[in-house]
Amino acid sequence: MKINKIISLIIAFVSLSVCAQDGPFMRKKKEQIKALKVAFITNELELTSEESAKFWPLYNAYEDKQQEIKKQKLKGYLNRMDDDSFDKLSDKEATVMLAQMESSEDELFQAKKKFVASLKGVISPLKILKLKRSEENFNRKLLQQYRDKKLGK
């Protein structure tokens, strides 16, 4: 469970840094990654055209909501953590910051619960579970490709 949170935070950091550098090159890369993700998930879930027509609008709305929460709320905390004054936070300021972070994480969790509930009428429970696995596999492969590229493999 802890590793999933760490991976989620890493993905959030990468997503936020990608959003911050949103030039034409980065937008094109994000679109390419999105297209690869759509193809990967569609294939992994073996979505029919009918399921796909209902699934993707829900999935895209959920991802947009996630990005909105991460961008608006978590970005402020991350910027503050990079700030030189971070080590000088008082216990009271740190407690407030923790509460805000917990609130953002809870908002992400509630969005996920709502998304899963909306999927129950669109795809089978097994495919909902496969979606989670597919997202993790896609992120793992993406991260591995990034590492390979960085290491020059």
> Is the pLDDT score of 17 beyond 70?
no
3-class secondary structure per residue, the chain: CHHHHHHHHHHHHHHHHHHHCCCHHHHHHHHHHHHHHHHHHHHHHCCCHHHHHHHHHHHHHHHHHHHHHHHHHHHHHHHHHHCHHHHHCCHHHHHHHHHHHHHHHHHHHHHHHHHHHHHCCCCCHHHHHHHHHHHHHHHHHHHHHHHHHHHCC
Q: How confident is the model at residue 15 (pLDDT cuts 50, 70, 90)?
A: low
Residues 95-153 pLDDT 10s: 988 888 898 899 999 999 999 999 999 999 999 999 999 999 999 999 998 888 887 76
Q: How confident is the model at residue 16 (pLDDT cuts 50, 70, 90)?
A: very low
The pLDDT tens digits of the residues spanning 57-103 come to 999 999 999 999 888 876 776 666 666 677 788 899 889 888 888 98
